[in-house]
Amino acid sequence: MNDYIYISALNQYAYCPRRCYYLFVENTFLDNEHTVEGTLRHTRAHSEETSMRDGILQLRSVSLYSHTYGLTGKADVVEEKNGRLYPVEHKKGRRGRWTNDELQLCAQALCLEEMQGQAIPKGYLFYISTGRRKEVRFTDTLRQQTIDTISAVRQLIESGQRPPNPYTPRCKGCSLHDICLPKETAQLQTSPLKP
């Protein structure tokens, strides 16, 4: 296995390959209100505390890796209940419309399975603004989607090719909108002045 890729890159790629390119190939990052709020609200999750609640051990900011898939990163929280481990990823805002968070959680489970040698059938997404958890089952389909995304991210990073930037509803909340300029790119491509 060559270079390891960050688990968070899978989330970004599933959201938008172009965004993943900016962050993990060009190392370009701009904050907007969504990213700043997310960072602030993640502070507790990344405090590296260990605590016990209702018989459940909670480990925060847990380092993860998989040699099999060439992955590295962190889980916001890993919980242990009755000897069984599962990841819990904290997300700002409400339940999202996209599947990128599920992919990121599944990648964490793949790492934990390899590190701990136990099957991990499910994890949780915790939505900070509502205080609600969503159970995510690591089905064969989700596992395959995650493995396919790992391959796609690795290919993107190795090729260094910038993906296209079609305007989609996701662009509205994207902190990189002002350097990506998807609408302006589309206008240029249809302009009669196009070189």
- Whole-angstrom distance, CA of residue 116 vs CA of residue 20: 29
- Whole-angstrom distance, CA of residue 1 vs CA of residue 139: 25
The residue (of 78 and 174) whose beta carbon lies closer to ligand SF4 is 174
The residue (of 122 and 162) whose beta carbon lies closer to ligand SF4 is 162
- Is 108:120 a contact under the CB 8 Å cutoff? no
We find the least distance from the C-beta atom of residue 42 to ligand SF4, in angstroms, to be 21
Q: 40 — phi, psi (to 5°)?
A: -60, -40
- Whole-angstrom distance, CA of residue 112 vs CA of residue 101: 17
- Whole-angstrom distance, CA of residue 43 vs CA of residue 63: 16
Q: Where do contacts with ligand SF4 occur on this chain (CB under 6 A)?
A: 16, 18-19, 165, 170-171, 174, 176-177, 180, 182
- Is 145:101 a contact under the CB 8 Å cutoff? no
We find the least distance from the C-beta atom of residue 73 to ligand SF4, in angstroms, to be 21
We find the least distance from the C-beta atom of residue 62 to ligand SF4, in angstroms, to be 29
We find the least distance from the C-beta atom of residue 53 to ligand SF4, in angstroms, to be 37
The residue (of 64 and 171) whose beta carbon lies closer to ligand SF4 is 171
The residue (of 84 and 98) whose beta carbon lies closer to ligand SF4 is 98
